[in-house]
Amino acid sequence: MPELGLIIEVVLIFIKVYIVGMILFMLPLPLTWLERKVAGRIQVRLGPHRVGPKGLLQPFADMVKLLLKEDIIPDKADRFLFKLAPLLAMIPAFAVFVAIPVGDTFTIPGIDYVFKLYISDMNVGVLYVLAIGGLGIYGIIFGGWASNSKYSLLGGLRSAAQMISYEVALSFAAIGVVMMSNSLSLVEIVKSQGGGFWNWNLFYLPVGPVWFLIFFIASLAEINRIPFDLPEDEGTLGSGFHTEYSGMRFSFFMLAEYIAMVTISVLAVVFFFGGWMPPIDPATFGIKVPAQIMSVWGIGWFIAKVVVFIYIFMWIRFTLPRYRYDQLMTIGWKILIPVSLITVLVTGLMRIFLT
């Protein structure tokens, strides 16, 4: 008979996974609405405004539409892979969130139970997030190949090449973060940035902002968003890897894309903007705030920072034009990687001589 404490821990993990999963499934609903409203505002039009107040029910209308649409599988498609691809795109996007901390711990008053505000604090968290996040690419590659359509195939090919190129720069950015924070665990990385906004990795001068820029550009490319969305370049490729997809399978790809955007925003916050740490810690001024209030306050800050990033991603999408393919490769190989190599050197020297 296992101990009661162990059973409670296991049950809690299941509950946490369930809650995180539900939130992630629901998240694209407000995000699609927000994205269209942002698009409308930037392009000086209204955006959705007919279904419900301010068009708030538009995502639900879309959901009904996608559910009811006929699900078409092309005749010569590889049926097994065609069905598998949307799931392959979606599962890694969810799996990444196992390692994401939204806060440190919350001590439940009265019973003194320490509730962890993350599912798992892995000692290789950074590697896990990058490795699992990178697997989403298979959905795109297999989807493109299984459709048996030239546009889809080209979309998948571009995606593979793009991902290989930018994965290098993204890993370098992660190395930079690990060097600045001295840990591979995401919880430790956030803790190393505590105490005030001047301790955030972004302000680890002079290399912090450089790392952030490398991370930001590489991750934009990694999640195939404008200005790097060549795999679904509608001007030349139909709609790229998901040309042949319709109905619910198509919406799985969209779901994965939105969650990938959230993932990148979350990672940017954890890596560079101090995670759940508020910009100014009351403790620095000698003001004592109960730990419970600080935890909840921290979660608020975490969500606020993530929302800002999501907004920035949408803003970029409707502001910048798409890069040409050769420009994409030039940015990846000839600019980002050499700059990262130099910055690794500078960061290493700083770690040796300044600490």
Give the footprint of another protein on this chain (CB under 8 A): 78, 81, 122-124, 127-128, 130-132, 134-135, 137-138, 141-142, 145, 153, 156-157, 160-161, 163-164, 167, 171, 184
DSSP structure string for 46-111: --S-SSSGGGTTHHHHHHHHHHHS-----TTS-HHHHHHHHHHHHHHHHHGGGS--S-SEEEETTT
Residue 18 vs 80, nearer CB to another protein? 80
Residue 17 vs 122, nearer CB to another protein? 122
**Spatial distance between the Cα atoms of 14 and 12, rounded to a whole number of angstroms:** 5
- Shortest Å distance, C-beta 224 to another protein: 14
Residue 184 vs 299, nearer CB to another protein? 184
**Phi, psi angles (nearest 5°) of residue 232:** -130, 40
Closest listed residue to residue 230, CA positions, set 318, 157, 330? 157
Residue 66 vs 130, nearer CB to another protein? 130
- Shortest Å distance, C-beta 162 to another protein: 10
- Shortest Å distance, C-beta 158 to another protein: 10
**Spatial distance between the Cα atoms of 253 and 83, rounded to a whole number of angstroms:** 12
CB 66 within 8 A of CB 248: yes
Q: How many Å is the Cα radius of gyration of the chain?
A: 22
User: Can you tell me whether residue 249 is helix, strand or coil?
Assistant: helix
- Shortest Å distance, C-beta 149 to another protein: 13
- Shortest Å distance, C-beta 100 to another protein: 15
**Phi, psi angles (nearest 5°) of residue 113:** -90, 130
Residue 154 vs 314, nearer CB to another protein? 154
Query: Quick count: other Cβ atoms within 10 Å of Cβ 321?
Result: 7
Residue 138 vs 250, nearer CB to another protein? 138
Residue 138 vs 273, nearer CB to another protein? 138
- Shortest Å distance, C-beta 112 to another protein: 25
Query: Quick count: other Cβ atoms within 10 Å of Cβ 190?
Result: 27
**Phi, psi angles (nearest 5°) of residue 117:** -90, 30
- Shortest Å distance, C-beta 220 to another protein: 18
- Shortest Å distance, C-beta 38 to another protein: 31
Q: How many helices (H) and strands (E) does the chain have?
A: 14, 2
Residue 23 vs 349, nearer CB to another protein? 349
Query: Quick count: other Cβ atoms within 10 Å of Cβ 245?
Result: 24
Closest listed residue to residue 302, CA positions, set 125, 101, 131? 101
- Shortest Å distance, C-beta 303 to another protein: 27
**Spatial distance between the Cα atoms of 325 and 337, rounded to a whole number of angstroms:** 17
Residue 3 vs 70, nearer CB to another protein? 3
